[in-house]
Amino acid sequence: MQISNIVDHIHQKRSFLCVGLDSDIDRLPAEFDRSLKSLVRFNEDIIEATKEYCVAYKVNTAFYERYGSKGWKALEKTRKLLPDSHFLIADAKRGDIGNTSRQYALAFFDHLDFNAITLSPYMGRDSIQPFLEFDNKWAILLSVTSNPGSADFQRMRNSEGKELFQKVIEKSVLWAGPDKIMFVCGATQSDRLQFARKAAPNYFFLVPGVGAQGGSLEVVYKSSATRGAGLLVNSSRSIIYASSGPDFREAASAKAMELADRMGELLP
């Protein structure tokens, strides 16, 4: 997949929605038993119910890894169910020294064939570099996240008045272009989104925090959209758990459609 494919998909579908498969066995609708087999079947239903309205899927690896090798098997099965037309993100937040990061890159880009992986920038350039050596794959760096703890370190200010997340963006845009790097920017902090957009005018942002975490889609768009959109707004829990009853497919579909409709109104 190339960046032009993502932009085309967004404008063709008039949606920049990413659906997050943070699928938790303990929260499956009542009709499923509490098994990994059911988790995969639930994912299949959610993908079927939402793929018309979204352009990306984000799989949260923790919810699979929690069950060890069997959970990873469910992750592999889920990956095979995801449509190749969509931008596929492993939300794994890895990041280690070079020879180790290379192994993670092989795990997610080669073995699982995701288009992108989320990474923590804490260990600096050589922890990211191995991911940049793959063509048509993206390293999505955490910059300013949507959780309360983002205030602890990401907003630490240096002597020039710049916050850490700004330094992360300013440095990493020198490492590779928008064809290899994207940034995670939380929806709950619109002023930081504006700063981030200024520092990375042509890069895609993956934006969590709309929905369950309280961020506003319209504020996100106003603060940081580019002409080509430049945004993938993620919603996980508010879609996949829209209902726990037998109508969970229709409820997920309706919620995804509602978000896509609002996105369509924002797009030029």
- Catalytic residue set: 93
Does position 185 interact with its own copies (CB under 8 A)? The reply is no
d(CA 156, CA 148): 14
Ranges within 98-117 binding its own copies (CB under 8 A): 98-101, 103-104, 106-107, 111-112
Cα dihedral across residues 23, 85, 83, 130: positive or negative: negative
Least distance from its own copies to the Cβ atom of residue 260, Å: 24
Does position 247 interact with its own copies (CB under 8 A)? The reply is no
Does position 189 interact with its own copies (CB under 8 A)? The reply is no
Does position 60 interact with its own copies (CB under 8 A)? The reply is yes
Least distance from its own copies to the Cβ atom of residue 62, Å: 4
CA dihedral 17, 209, 93, 170 (to 10 degrees): 90
Least distance from its own copies to the Cβ atom of residue 265, Å: 29
Nearer to its own copies among residue 188 and residue 253 (C-beta): 188
Cβ atoms 168, 144 nearer than 8 A:
no
Does position 147 interact with its own copies (CB under 8 A)? The reply is yes
Cα dihedral across residues 117, 227, 187, 255: positive or negative: negative
Give the Å distances, CA to CA, from 247 to 115, 146, 165, 241, 254.
Answer: 31, 30, 41, 11, 11
Joined tokens for residue 176: 């590779």
Q: What is the CA radius of gyration of the chain?
A: 18
CA angle 2, 5, 11 (to 5 degrees): 150
Size of the site for its own copies (CB under 8 A): 61
List the one residue from 2, 122, 136, 222 that touches its own copies (CB under 8 A).
Answer: 122
Longest alpha-carbon distance in the chain: 56
User: Which region among 11-19, 161-169, 223-231, 252-260 touches its own copies (by CB under 8 A)?
Assistant: 161-169
User: Which region among 66-74, 195-203, 219-227, 258-266 touches its own copies (by CB under 8 A)?
Assistant: 66-74
Which residues bind to its own copies, rule: CB under 8 A? Answer: 22, 24, 60, 62-63, 65-73, 75-76, 91, 93-101, 103-104, 106-107, 111-112, 120-128, 142, 145-154, 156-159, 161, 164, 167-168, 171
